[in-house]
Amino acid sequence: MNMNDDMSGKESSATHGAYMTLRDMILTGELPAGQKLKIEQLRGLLKTGASPVREALSLLTSDMLVERIDQRGFRAAPANKANFEEILELRCTLEDLALRKSIAAATPQWEEQLILTHHRMRKSVGQDIKVFEEAHKTFHMALLANSGSPMLERYCAQLYDLNIRYRNLAAGGSKYQSRDIAAEHEEILEAAVQYNADLACTCLLKHYRLTGEYLAREMDA
């Protein structure tokens, strides 16, 4: 490896590190929705150069987690009820399609992986929130992973991430916490491994809409 390759590798690593850190901060609300993201402040926070920060923000713009507000400025994507409702509608539409495709092409390998990811998600409850969030997303994406439609699965994963900030907001209320989320996941899993597409999709969409209805009330209040 020559010196140019080494420098390129370090820059790529710095950009990836900045991207992952900023992404997590936006998803968890540590960087609030709508907040202006200043390169110099983020440089100090992340202890890296301006170039990796700027490149990371550009990547997050493609993810729709960051908005460009002028020629050089950025802000965390705003959060509002209309945006949430659009995300919810798209999730329900696309995941209904993807889950039906997954079940129609079901294999023992897909079923085993689904059961495994559900088990790991259950074990992660009560652990560090990042551990649970990773396991939770892995389970939901495993439901769709047999669809045979990589582009569809990619859109579903992106919508999942866009929804995270809103779900974190909903999780703060006592009425949200009173739901038996584990039972909802169990119902989805059981219907999926029984290859009952209609029931599995009904359970999945109900799971999303319960959160959506609660959050809509919180926003109205």
Spatial strand order in the sheet of 36-37: 36-37, 74-76, 66-68
Provide, for the chain, the percentages of residues in helix, strand and coil under a 3-state DSSP scheme, each rounded to the nearest 5: 75, 5, 20
Listing DSSP states for 177-189 in one string gives: HTS-HHHHHHHHH
Structure tokens at 163: 């929804």
Using alpha carbons only, what angle is made at residue 21 by residues 160 and 42, rounded to the nearest 5 degrees? 125
pLDDT given for residue 175 in this prediction: 61
More confident residue, 47 or 1: 47
- Which 3 state secondary structure label does DSSP give 22? helix
CATH 2.60.120.330 for the 81-220 domain, yes or no = no
CA 1 to chain centre: 36
Per DSSP, 122 falls in state: H
Range(s) within the chain of domains with CATH label 1.10.10.10: 3-76
Determine the topology of domain 3-76 in CATH.
Answer: Arc Repressor Mutant, subunit A (1.10.10)
CB atoms within 10 A of CB 34: 12
pLDDT at 192: 98
pLDDT, greater one: 112 or 220: 112
pLDDT digit string, tens, across residues 35-87 = 999 999 999 999 999 999 999 999 999 999 999 987 779 999 998 889 999 99
Tokens of 117: 């990811």
Residues of the chain with CATH 1.20.120.530: 81-220
Question: pLDDT by residue (tens digit) across 165-192?
Answer: 887 766 655 566 678 999 999 999 999 9
For tokens 């599995």, what's the residue? 200
Burial class (CB in 10 A: 0-12, 13-18, 19+), 151: exposed
Angstrom distance (rounded) from CA 211 to CA 134: 19
- Give tens-digit pLDDT for 103-143: 999 999 999 999 999 999 999 998 888 899 899 999 999 99
Using CA atoms, how far apart are residues 76 and 64, in angstroms rounded to an integer?
Answer: 9
- What confidence score (pLDDT) does residue 96 get? 98
CB-based contact 65:56 (threshold 8 Å): no
CA–CA dist 37, 45 (Å, integer): 11
Q: What share of the chain in percent tops pLDDT 70? A: 90
What was the pLDDT predicted at 5?
46
- Is residue 213 very low, low, confident or very high in pLDDT (cuts 50, 70, 90)? confident
- What percentage of the chain exceeds 90 in pLDDT? 70
pLDDT at residue 29, as a whole number: 85
Q: Which residues contact 198 (CB under 8 A, 6 or more apart)?
A: none
pLDDT category at 10 given cuts 50, 70, 90 is low
